[in-house]
Amino acid sequence: MKKIKEVVRQDLAGRRAIIVALKKTTVKETEENARELYLLAKTLRLKIIKTFLIRVNEVHPGTYIGSGKIEELKKFISKEKIFISIFEPDLSPVQQRNLEESLKIRVIDRTALILHIFAQHAKTHEGKIQVELAQLNYLLPRLTGHGVFLSRLGGGLGTRGPGEMKLELYRRRIRERIHKLNQKIKDIEKHRELLRNARKKKNLPVVSLLGYTNVGKSTLLNKLSEKKDLLVADKLFSTLDPATRSVYLGDNCFCLLTDTVGLLYNLPHHLIAAFKATLEEVIFSDALLLIYDVSTISIERQKETAFQVIKLLGVEEKPCIEVFNKIDLLSPEEKNILKGNFPEGIFVSALTGEGLQGLKTRIKEILYGIKVT
């Protein structure tokens, strides 16, 4: 069977695309959702020709949107020679197939877009296993009529033609592959447990970085550990594999700082589950650094997303330090307002190093109980 990465890992760079985003109850929420979808698409270097903002009062079971909006999209797609359409809402397999047949182009939803990014950015063996597992779980219910066109190979109503038999074969093989990947994930978890036990023997506390994708976690880890070996890129989900570095906090105190996969608002639970082995580092850490980007998506959305994952992992009781990154992009007035709104926060620039000594001091206070006056 063709490997899943051969099915969905396609270079979309330069392809002409449109975005179909939903109008929410507030203009701010609508703009933030559309902007995130745009940034996700630009991470794959798609050429976004237009973003359609539509209001859906009632979801159409067959196509999600109504026939009038479909006709509008069809005219634009034909005129502008669009290759792919990206829908913000998660589409059912039936909706996706019907939209592709109506629009005569490829249609993907937000989850599929994220999976494409994962496929491009997974570099290590562990990362590739986790991404393939997420892709397979997404593809399984979409086999009929999707991509491989298996349902069109034969078989009519009440019969078992070659198309149906081949479809069942693919389903069985995918389920077998999912089972094998889950076993590999368990092996990864065992390996991580051995690493954690080795760290415990060194008696070094562990701090995990947690936050939105592209908030600067890797840059911060490089700066605090005084190393430059981690990939730093202005892209969403550039880090899929955890990395741990030793950080000197002063006064002969050290800690281990662990990076984690970036988060995203309303990230489907099955995608989070696929990266459970990676996010487990958070569960076994002694404290959390919640990193926020002060320059882009609203801090409220970033905080909500981080605390949703904290709750999902059951680590609400762990000590947390809220770190507001990229303050070098703010004016002095904006900095003062931010500090007034979040008096307990630590304000830093991972790029310039501003505020990092204060962050180390706060980490040392929490981990070692050393109060610095």
Where residue 218 falls among pLDDT bands split at 50, 70, 90? confident
Q: Which of residues 309 and 123 earns the better pLDDT score?
A: 309
**Which pLDDT belongs to residue 9?**
53
In SS3 terms, 327-350 reads as: HHHCCHHHHHHHHHHCCCCEECCC
CATH topology of domain 204-368: Rossmann fold (3.40.50)
| CATH code 3.40.50.300 region(s) in the chain | 204-368
pLDDT at 33 over 50: yes
Higher pLDDT, 125 or 367: 367
Rounded CA gap, 207 and 224, in Å?
Answer: 12
- CATH 3.40.50.11060 residue ranges of the chain are 8-122
pLDDT > 70? residue 278:
no
| Distance (Å, whole) CA 192 – CA 197 | 9
Identity of the highest mean pLDDT range in 114-123, 233-242, 279-288: 279-288
Q: Using one digit for the tens of pLDDT, what is the confidence trace for 148-207?
A: 444 333 333 333 444 556 778 888 888 999 999 989 888 887 877 787 777 666 778 999
The pLDDT value given to residue 180: 93
Answer whether residue 77 shows pLDDT above 90: yes
pLDDT score of 160: 41
- Average pLDDT of the chain, as a whole number: 83
Residue 29 token pair: 């929420």
Q: How would residue 274 be classed by pLDDT, with cut points 50, 70 and 90?
A: low
Q: Does domain 8-122 have CATH number 3.40.47.10?
A: no
- Higher pLDDT, residue 202 or 93: 93
Whole-structure pTM value: 0.80
